[in-house]
Structure 1
């Protein structure tokens, strides 16, 4: 089958499009014919050897796929050939087929588009967990979303509004902020042109944001600690800016605030029942037409390197997906 191969650690330009052999699924696995594969920021780190989960070359990157089951292992009872599914896997997603452990596979509603599904599982699963279980976001509170035009950012805008929050979207260009408004943001901040902390204070009449959703990290995190409300919650989602910020403990102390880590990958293993509840809610919102993944661009599988380069250059809004 065709797949993308990382034969040596480095940038996307080192990736190879070639042939690989996929073994039969194990007793607890299913084989999935990939309809689409999500392109995510951790993928760009993994091929460089900088991600928390280390893979040894040669390997196929890609953690998020959707598709149709073509074979099931001997011990798998809850899935059948022909089921439409989405899943997260450690590696292997940038390929025509994958094997996935059945425990991590999610059966999709019949009306859920498979291309949209490749841009759904990771960002929406992460975000509802962040806002619900970690941030305890309440109706009427103010939610500040950084990197708001990216995949997790747009998911945070949509879910934040559905949970009853006032959403302030922060991004780096007028074009991105226009998209954020179209996705439901109440207010926007262009942090390439104005101080994030001053803009948040102005929009909240000096109070600050109740919940801050930060997948960016870097220098902007320090502004967040100055723009958080009393009893505020700062959610550590990721570090797309590259730098891992140091937490200003004194600012958290003075605001009675908390910094909370969001590690959805561990949550789905440790608290599977809660994760299932989260997805039941997400699917209900989707069926009602109140939530919809924004897929900004699709790429042929062979162009995976270009998709990654575009993501690194922050040219991707919403989600980008690969189509085998």
Structure 2
């Protein structure tokens, strides 16, 4: 007589792979899941996406605790690992994996939402909005802090009010902006550069003193740096991808053993 024992949700016990206790060999788990795919209502394409997801976990063993294996690939990184699968198709297969209960998807914290919680009054998504128009509509800028450069610097520069000040500290976009001196003259603008590391060479006391003050403020509870991700050293490539894809909202910390 065939054993018809079933899991409480109605699936055969052989299909409930994630309910086992202890760690799992991720590739053996994928192989067993492929055999039981019909019980989960999955085809080979969602399983290909699952295989790509598993490849982002650096160890062969998956922890047995629910939620113990968390990876942070962006849709773009996942698409690249799937030989260029369109992101619309990728999202459909991720939805199937989520609906089956095999994976749980948590989108990266929204940067605008985090900024609002931190006290920002007005939020502009630089990837979608016209920065100059948005800032001018708010009354223009009196102070600009820029670490991006490129088109975003140009837009912020054009949104400045007379006598505004611009602090530039880096060029994350990869493009160093070229400033037209006549615009500085006409609007009486001040542009200041700050390379913090440069003080180590010509004024080291300023650098060490400011660091000491920052650590003192942190010890006193006056500063609360935001850490959005903590990863082990074995997943440093994943941490870099979080930064590259702008999926992090704060510091990405890599833990070094010992």
TM range (shorter): 0.5 to 0.7
1:224 and 1:174 map into 2 onto residues whose CA distance is: 25
Structure-2 residue corresponding to 1:6:
none
TM-score when scaled to structure 2?
A: 0.52
1:283 alignment partner, one of 215, 218, 224: 215
Partner-residue secondary structure (3-state), 1:211: strand
**Are 1:310 and 2:242 matched, yes or no?**
yes
* Counterpart mapping for 1:1-324 below 5 A: 175-203=110-138, 205=139, 208-324=140-256
Q: CA-to-partner distance for each residue in 1:20-41, whole Å, 9 max, x for gaps?
A: xxxxxxxxxxxxxxxxxxxxxx
Partner-residue secondary structure (3-state), 1:292: coil
What RMSD over aligned residues (CA atoms) do the two structures have, in Å?
A: 2.4
2:212 and 2:133 map into 1 onto residues whose CA distance is: 38
**CA 1:231–1:280 in structure 2 vs 1: closer, same or farther (change >3 Å)?**
farther
* Runs of 4 or more consecutive aligned structure 1 residues displaced over 3 Å after TM superposition: none
**Structure 1: gaps of 5 or more residues:** 1-16, 18-172
2:188 and 2:215 map into 1 onto residues whose CA distance is: 35
Q: Is 1:294–1:318's contact at 8 Å kept on the other side of the alignment? A: yes
**CA 1:322–1:174 in structure 2 vs 1: closer, same or farther (change >3 Å)?**
closer
Greater Rg by CA:
2
**Structure 2: gaps of 5 or more residues:** 1-57, 59-107
1:218 and 1:291 map into 2 onto residues whose CA distance is: 30
Structure with more strand by fraction: 1
Q: Is 1:225–1:248's contact at 8 Å kept on the other side of the alignment? A: no
Q: CA-to-partner distance for each residue in 1:195-241, whole Å, 9 max, x for gaps?
A: 111211222x2xx3222111111111111111122222222211111
The count of corresponding residues between Structure 1 and Structure 2 is 150
Structure with more helix by fraction: 2
1:175 and 1:321 map into 2 onto residues whose CA distance is: 19
1:321 and 1:262 map into 2 onto residues whose CA distance is: 25
TM-score when scaled to structure 1?
A: 0.42
Partner-residue secondary structure (3-state), 2:124: strand
Partner-residue secondary structure (3-state), 2:150: coil
Partner-residue secondary structure (3-state), 1:190: coil
Partner-residue secondary structure (3-state), 1:187: coil
Q: CA-to-partner distance for each residue in 1:94-140, whole Å, 9 max, x for gaps?
A: xxxxxxxxxxxxxxxxxxxxxxxxxxxxxxxxxxxxxxxxxxxxxxx
1:174 and 1:247 map into 2 onto residues whose CA distance is: 35
